[in-house]
Amino acid sequence: QHSRLKERHQSTGVSKATAASAAIFISSPQPSSSAPMTDSKKHSVVVAVVGYTGGVGTCLLTAMDKIDLKPFALVRSSSMRIAGEDEVPVDFTLLGTRLLEAAAKRGAVPVIADVTASPVPQEQYKDWLSRGISVVAANKGIFSGPEDKYRDMLSAVNPPTKLLHEATVGAGLPVLGTLGSLKASSHKILKIEGILSGTLAFVLGAVAGGKKTFSQAVAEAKELGYTEPDPRLDLSGMDVARKAVILARLSDLTGVELTSMDIESLVPEPLRASTISVDDFLEGLSAYNEDFAARVAAVEKTPGSRLHYVAKIDVGNKKVIVGPMAFEAGHPFNSAGPDNLVAVTTNFYSPRPLVIQGAGAGGDVTATGVLADILQC
């Protein structure tokens, strides 16, 4: 994803306080609450990394090396290397068997960390879990896909085996773990609101106050490397929607499907066709500047109010909405800048929500989120 945006998002400081602590604001996550020992003999996990040659995969290996946690197996799309042996064709069943054998010999927990963007490893999750292998994932796919398949996968999780996927929402931000801790400590999740796209945060920040037109903001975001090669992939809001599905399901909502959600795309209808080139899309976007500016101005008539692209999970009313929404001056979103920010309202954190804020993209922060999950297994 967008390298320059990631650099801009890099956080300073460390805070991963207990999720249900008295702190109302959590930012700049690092896995300090489960700080690993540096002696490799003291690690109680045997890890296979699937997707080790990708951006997040290489960062994960670097992070593991820093704490002296050596991978037992390394897997890429066509081949795998187990226990330092010669590479062989990928065989996920054999991988699981060898991992279980090694874990049994060491008295350790077998873990497979999937940091690919491929659906292929996810087809193995249920089998791995049923065999007693914990799975750590960074791929939103199955977690935001059809609910029946998601629930079927969950049915294979039998403690102490774990299925953790913190990095699927907000990279390394402690969002999903925080929700789990809140629920476990008697909080009732009432509402979750999230700015979950740094790209869309940049675009809407650029048009605030009439500083730039909508088309100028999108063009600048693309030029700076903040968007996908086709900005419509960002502007469609589908990535935010997938994260909203994950948050909704972890808030115990059922029946939430991407296909039936209320998602407002920022791509004008006439410019959505795949037959329209990126250049033609960018050129045609200027025709919608006036309408978008009017929408922004209408929100900003109320002093301090801002328009943000947000995922909103209203647990009480069983409703999930994704799209541009207005927020009054005192809302935490208005000070988020380019960060991801998630505001969680519970029966105890109300009316002021618990706020989690920080870099929501980048290989290093995503990798530390994955590593924190590995260490929790």
- Catalytically active residues are 243
Choose among 221, 167, 175: nearest CA to 54.
Answer: 167
SS3 186: coil
Residue 14 contacts residue 30 (beta carbons within 8 Å): yes
Query: Between the CA of residue 28 and those of 171, 342, 359, what are the distances in Å?
Result: 11, 13, 7
DSSP 256-269: --GGGSEE--SS-G
Q: Distance between CA 45 and CA 106 in Å, rounded?
A: 9
The answer to whether the CB of 345 falls within 8 A of the CB of 228 is no
What residue has token string 């960018």? 282
- Look-up of token digits 């994803």: 1
What residues have CB less than 8 Å from 310, skipping those under 6 apart? Answer: 193, 194, 195, 196, 240, 322, 323, 324, 325, 327, 333
CB–CB of 111/73 below 8 Å?
A: no
As a whole number of angstroms, the distance between CA 270 and CA 288 comes to 11
| Nearest residue to 133 via CA among 164, 173, 90 | 164
Q: At what angle do helices 363-376 and 55-66 cross, to 10 degrees?
A: 60
8-state DSSP, 342: E
Of the candidates 277, 282, 274, the residue with the CA atom closest to the CA atom of residue 221: 282
Cis-peptide into 160, omega within 30 deg: yes
